[in-house]
Amino acid sequence: MIINTELEYKGNLYPSRIIDFKKEVDSAFFYTDNDVILKITIVRDSLLRFRYTTKGYFSPDFSYAIDENHSRGYNHFEVVEEPDFYHVKTSKLDCHVSKADLRTAIFDLKGNAVLEDELGFHWEEIYEYGGNIVKMSKVSKDGENFYGLGDKATHLNLKGKRLENWATDQYAYHKDQEPLYKAVPFYIGLNGKDAYGIFFDNTFRSFFDFCHERRNVSSFWADGGEMNYYFFYGPSMHDVVAAYTDLTGKPELPPLWALGYHQCKWSYYPESKVKEITSRFRELRIPCDAIYLDIDYMEGFRCFTWNKNFFPDPKRMVAELAEDGFKTIVIIDPGIKIDKDYWVYNEGIANDYFCKRADGPYMKGKVWPGECNFPDYTNPAVREWWAGLFKELVGDIGVKGVWNDMNEPAVMEVPTKTFPLDVRHDYDGHPCSHRKAHNIYGTQMARATYEGVKRFSYPKRPFIITRSAYSGAQRYTSSWTGDNVATWEHLWIANVQVQRMSLSGMGFTGSDIGGFAEQPTGELYARWIQLGVFHPFCRTHSSGHHGEQEPWAFDDEVINVTRKFIELRYQLLPYLYTMFWQYIDESIPMLKPLVYFDQEDPQTHYRTDEFIFGNHILVCPILEPNAVGRRMYVPRGSWYNYWNNEIVQGGRESWIDVAFDQIPLFVKAGAVIPKYPVQQYVGELEFDELTLDVYYKEGKEESKVFEDAQDGYDYTKGRYSLRTFTTAGKGKELVLHQHKEGKFITPYNYFKINLIGLPFKVTAVEVDNEEVSLEELKFNIHNTLTVNKDFSELHIKGI
């Protein structure tokens, strides 16, 4: 290519003028004088894909992130030529493409600019590796705010920050440390009240700059690959997040037990220790569903082996734990020990499944077992082999979940903490170096693990957890936020990270409760549990080097707080399960930062601490020692203080008093909150009533309750129960309407309804238009009544 020097500025190259254009099916192609092609694809009316090449042709299109089942289709697509630019129009957007320099500007139908190129696409050639550093810069309007990007340990609002995506084993990271374990190159921009999103689907090391370098410029770039990004138009953050989540995919429902409490430590062994821990949970009556085995269950850290001194009969042990309601979850790392007497290693060598250096030899690196080779999970044959390795663990021994760690991939004792960059990968038939495959490696490992665990658990559902991830990993796995520290600052970080992951399509996430490194005080542990039970994934984990981190490692007060909050989580399981359903069915994030909940209220744009759990519960953790309360922002609307049912009007900052066994918790007026009885593990009890806490509101509110068999795949065939409750309060009346969908018959027969906040004294109740005596409804002074679950309308009247 001849470089036109006028198009070179500070080492960057720019597209020249457009000399041709073509419209084909769902795409418009623009060709410049210097061999740049821009391809704009209409995925949906409000979702455009921008793809650039500088070579005059496109390489084959391939992405691990995009879910092949994502929604597509649009109402309108036309290209209109003007003297200076082209319009690319859909029924929602008008994108201008400048003839002089290929810069784009996206407008809504009212003609407001949503996002305009600043320099737009530009690039730098890299002689050493070939290819380009691909760059994009956009105009950022005054007052614009930014959110998203996965696991970043920084303020929820990313304005003013520069961030890096390069999956890294970052032991004991600190606030603002970069980069971390995950690479999720998706962000949301919020201009005033209008939101848009960008997903830069490029797995190379990438960077995002949100007005850090230049005040009115946001930019992103990557060390190779294509400038290839998706633009999502809101204007609500909900639309942006839902469209991104739909594009990169949703998980299956987890088994309900996976939403219970999990206990972990590095490491519980031998068998007697594991049993001591699980029995103690039952003795102290602290609910728990899962127990983890960290690397010491293996023989010399060889994956898919057992240390028979510590675990002489794993199958028996796993069965005995299951009898007591405990699901066993084991860790599996990517590093396969180089050992000629080890079958997994031998199979890997025999089939040529391990990653190789550019010049041919297998890549070698140290992890827990010493020198290892590493499977190339970007090769479908390797994934298939890996999936098969779970036959014994899952199919025979009965392990219920697998924990994938060290998959950034992490390598010890080397400055880069990972593979050399020349390592080769198959990349599903698009061979490349580690520069391109690094960020996706962990996701492909988790994917292979998911396929294996699912195969051998079927017809039950698998449970997978991963440390590293790229966009789309949520289709296969849950995740945790890596090796945090037992400090108050890390409690703040955990709160931000899990909210951010939720906004980034990867909601099934939690932190190591209590902190992985170092030792929490009882107070810190209790405050962490109080937050952790409101995270979709809820597990205590610690390095175990500094002492114990089971609830009973602390005093009775802490044990009681722990029990109280874990019990609350177990009561809220149907609520949590319903929010999971809404996440996978409607792409609604499970945790909603306040800015997502009410983007029109500028007070929410910089809030970090408070979030909405599901649709109706406002949670605000206590993040400081010795707290007797805290200031917080209660978003607009009416809310009930969960602890005393007092009403608070939102839209302002308030001081909220709390005791040590409380955190500020509020329920949105009008909500119907379903509750199960406290169980020590999911499925322990059979019960004949579902509790519904109904919070009175003057006006209407909708709530849903999703249930099914709690495991298995029948729900995909319509065997679920989805109840939609609508409350309508008016003066001295409350109407509760129920609409039911789905073929699953819930095992209980009654609802126990707690009417909260009624501004009147109940005198009569009509069930489906017939008055039923209050005695028959077991109505009592607490405004509680019991009614058959099949009603359509409950009409509560009073004076």
Residue ranges binding ligand GLC (CB under 6 A): 266, 294-295, 331, 405, 467, 482-483, 541
Q: How far is the CB of 183 from ligand GLC (least distance, A)?
A: 17
Catalytic-residue membership of 483: yes
* Closer Cβ to ligand GLC, 300 or 718, answer by number: 300
* Closer Cβ to ligand GLC, 65 or 332, answer by number: 332
Q: How far is the CB of 545 from ligand GLC (least distance, A)?
A: 10
Q: How far is the CB of 413 from ligand GLC (least distance, A)?
A: 15
Element of type H or E holding 676: none
Q: How far is the CB of 368 from ligand GLC (least distance, A)?
A: 7
* Closer Cβ to ligand GLC, 129 or 266, answer by number: 266
Catalytic-residue membership of 20: no
Q: How far is the CB of 331 from ligand GLC (least distance, A)?
A: 6
Beta-carbon contacts of 461 under 8 Å, excluding residues fewer than 6 positions away, are 252, 253, 254, 255, 454, 711, 712, 713
What sign results for the dihedral spanned by CA atoms 261, 266, 271, 275?
negative
* Closer Cβ to ligand GLC, 371 or 384, answer by number: 371
For 75, counting Cβ atoms within 10 Å of its Cβ (0-12 exposed, 13-18 middle, 19+ buried), the class is exposed
Q: How far is the CB of 163 from ligand GLC (least distance, A)?
A: 21
Token digits for 513? 């409760």
Q: Which of 405, 550, 708, 711 is catalytic?
A: 405
* Count of beta carbons in the 10 Å neighbourhood of residue 655: 10
Residue-by-residue DSSP string for 539-581: EE---SSSS--SGGGS-HHHHHHHHHHHHHHHHTHHHHHHHHH
Q: How far is the CB of 181 from ligand GLC (least distance, A)?
A: 9
For 737, counting Cβ atoms within 10 Å of its Cβ (0-12 exposed, 13-18 middle, 19+ buried), the class is middle
Cα angle 337-343-344, degrees, rounded to a multiple of 5: 55
Alpha helices in 290-413 (DSSP H): 314-323, 343-350, 380-388, 390
Token digits for 146? 């930014």
Token digits for 69? 């089942």
* Closer Cβ to ligand GLC, 483 or 610, answer by number: 483
Asked if 722 contacts 742 with a C-beta cutoff of 8 angstroms, the reply is: yes
The residues facing 29 across adjacent strands are 22, 39
* Closer Cβ to ligand GLC, 442 or 589, answer by number: 442
Going by their DSSP bridges, the two strands 591-593 and 539-540 should be labelled as unpaired
Residue 41 to residue 441: CA distance in whole angstroms: 28
* Closer Cβ to ligand GLC, 333 or 711, answer by number: 333
Catalytic-residue membership of 405: yes
**What per-residue string of b and e applies to 572-589 under the rule 16 or more CB within 10 Å gives b?**
bbbbbbbbbbbbbeebbb
Residue-by-residue DSSP string for 687-750: -SEEEEEEE--BEEEEEEEEE-SSSSSGGGGT--EEEEEEEEEETTEEEEEEEEESS---S--E
* Closer Cβ to ligand GLC, 44 or 541, answer by number: 541
* Closer Cβ to ligand GLC, 40 or 486, answer by number: 486
The phi-psi region of residue 775 (left if phi > 0; otherwise alpha if psi is between -120 and 50; otherwise beta) is: alpha
Q: How far is the CB of 405 from ligand GLC (least distance, A)?
A: 5
Asked if 430 contacts 450 with a C-beta cutoff of 8 angstroms, the reply is: no
Residue 606 to residue 463: CA distance in whole angstroms: 35
Secondary structure letter of residue 320 according to DSSP? H
Token digits for 206? 């990438």
Secondary structure letter of residue 91 according to DSSP? S
Q: How far is the CB of 538 from ligand GLC (least distance, A)?
A: 15
Q: How far is the CB of 501 from ligand GLC (least distance, A)?
A: 16
* Closer Cβ to ligand GLC, 265 or 605, answer by number: 265
Element of type H or E holding 628: none
Cα angle 261-558-563, degrees, rounded to a multiple of 5: 35
**Which amino acid would we find at residue 479?**
S
Q: Which of 194, 226, 483, 567 is catalytic?
A: 483
Q: How far is the CB of 410 from ligand GLC (least distance, A)?
A: 8
Residue (of 393, 530, 362) closest to 457 by Cα position: 393
Residue-by-residue DSSP string for 406-425: STTT--BTSTTSS--TT-EE
Residue 368 to residue 380: CA distance in whole angstroms: 26
Q: Helix (H, G, I), strand (E, B), or coil: what is residue 504?
A: coil
The phi-psi region of residue 362 (left if phi > 0; otherwise alpha if psi is between -120 and 50; otherwise beta) is: beta
* Closer Cβ to ligand GLC, 301 or 470, answer by number: 301
Q: Helix (H, G, I), strand (E, B), or coil: what is residue 282?
A: helix
Half-sphere exposure of 520 (CA within 13 A, CB side): 35
Q: Which of 408, 426, 567, 610 is catalytic?
A: 408
* Closer Cβ to ligand GLC, 516 or 715, answer by number: 516
* Count of beta carbons in the 10 Å neighbourhood of residue 192: 16
Token digits for 111? 């003609």
Q: How far is the CB of 626 from ligand GLC (least distance, A)?
A: 30
* Closer Cβ to ligand GLC, 66 or 410, answer by number: 410
Which residue has the closest beta carbon to ligand GLC?
Answer: 266
Alpha helices in 167-254 (DSSP H): 237-248
What residues are annotated to the active site?
A: 405, 408, 483
